[in-house]
Amino acid sequence: MLAVLALFPFSGAESWIVNIGIFTLMYAVLGSAWNLIGGYTGYVSLGSVAFFGLGAYGLALTFQHIGIGSGFLPFALVPIIGIAVAIVSLPIGWIAFRTRGLPFIIVTISLVIILQYMALNLTDVTGGAPGLQVPQAPFPPGTYEEYFYWAMLVVFALTLLACAYVRRSRLGLMMFAVREDEDKARGLGVATSVPKYAAFAGCAAFSAMAGAVWAYYLSTVYPQFAFDGEFLAMGIILVAYLGGIGTLWGPFVGALILTPAQQYFAYSLGGSQLYLIAYAAVFIVVMLFLPRGVVTTIADRALRRSRRRKQAVEELATAESESARDTPAPVAAR
C-alpha cells in the first residue's frame, strides 16, 4: 500500500488532486497518531491539535531565528521537531494523566485553547493574528505539490510502522490492558504510567511532524488554523472513528473517505458553511451502517462469515460420519 501511495504522483494526477492527497495523508498521520492515545490506551484526547500547532510554529520559528534556508533541508528538521515536541509533551502529560474520562478531555482541549491565545497575543514571538511567514520552497510549479506529498507520506509511513510495532510489542499489550481496565491492570502489576506516557509522547511527536510539513507547504502559519480546536480536532477523531479506532489501517481509511468528501463538498457548495452539513452526513451514514468503523465492521463480518463456513463444513463432516456409521456393512458373498 505504501508503494502504491508513493507512485500516486506519477499517475498523471493534476496538482489540485495531489493537494487533496497531501491533506488526506496529513489526516491519516493525525488519526494514526491519535490512535496511539485514544485507540490503544482508551484516553480520548483533543490535544493532538496542540502538538500539530507546536510542530508548525517550531518549523516557522526555526526559519525566523536560525535561517535554515529552503529546499529539502527543512524536511530534515521535521523529525527533530517531532522529538522536541514529544519531550515538551511529557510534563503536560504528567498534568493531564492526573485525571480520567471527561476531565481528561477538558484538560486536553484547554491546552489547545491556551496555546491558541498565546499564539495570538505573543506577537513578538508568533507574529500574532497575521501569522508567521515561512520561505516558500523553490520547487518547480508543475511538481511543487509532489515533494510535500512524498514528505507527508514518509511521516505517515513512520507513524504506521510505529503503530504496527506497538501492536505487536509488550508495550502495546500494556496499552490495551490500560484501555480495558486500568485499575485491574495496575492490580496485576502493569506499570500503567509507562504506556500512557509513551502513547502521549508518540501522539505528540507524529502530530508535530505533520504540522511541520503542513507549515512548510502553506508558507504561512496562522494561530486560528494551527490550533483549530473545532474543525481540526473533530476531524482527527472523526477520521479515527470512521475507519475504526484501535486498528492499524482504520485512520487511513477514514481519511481516504472524509478528506476528499470534505474538499468536494466545499468546492461544490461554494463559500457557505453548508458543506459542513454534507460533511457530517457522510459520517452519519457510515456510522449507521458501519457503527464500529469501516475496518472493524468489515473484519467482524469477514470473521463471522468464516466461522459460519467452518461450522457448516464441520456439520457436514459430522453428518457424513454419522451416516457412514449407521449404514450396515455389506455381507460378504460365499
**First and final C-alpha spacing in the chain:** 70
> For residue 108, what is its C-alpha cell?
486536553
pLDDT tens figures, 33-62: 999 999 999 998 888 899 999 999 999 988
Give the pLDDT band of residue 290 (cuts 50, 70, 90).
confident
The helix/strand/coil state of 52 is: helix
Q: Report residue 322's pLDDT band, with 50, 70 and 90 as the boundaries.
A: confident
pLDDT for 221 beyond 60 = yes
CB < 8 Å & 24+ apart, contacts of 118-127: 119/53, 119/57, 119/223, 119/226, 119/227, 120/223, 120/224, 125/61, 126/57, 126/223
pLDDT at 280 exceeding the cut of 80: no
Give the pLDDT of residue 260: 87
Mean pLDDT of 190-210: 95
pLDDT for residue 334: 44
Task: Round to whole Å and give the CA distance between 113 and 231.
Answer: 13
Which range among 86-95, 275-284, 305-314 has the greatest average pLDDT? 86-95
Record the pTM: 0.87
CA-nearest of 237, 206, 203, 235 to 93 is: 203
Does residue 241 surpass a pLDDT of 70? yes
Give the Å distances, CA to CA, from 1 to 54, 125, 252.
30, 41, 11
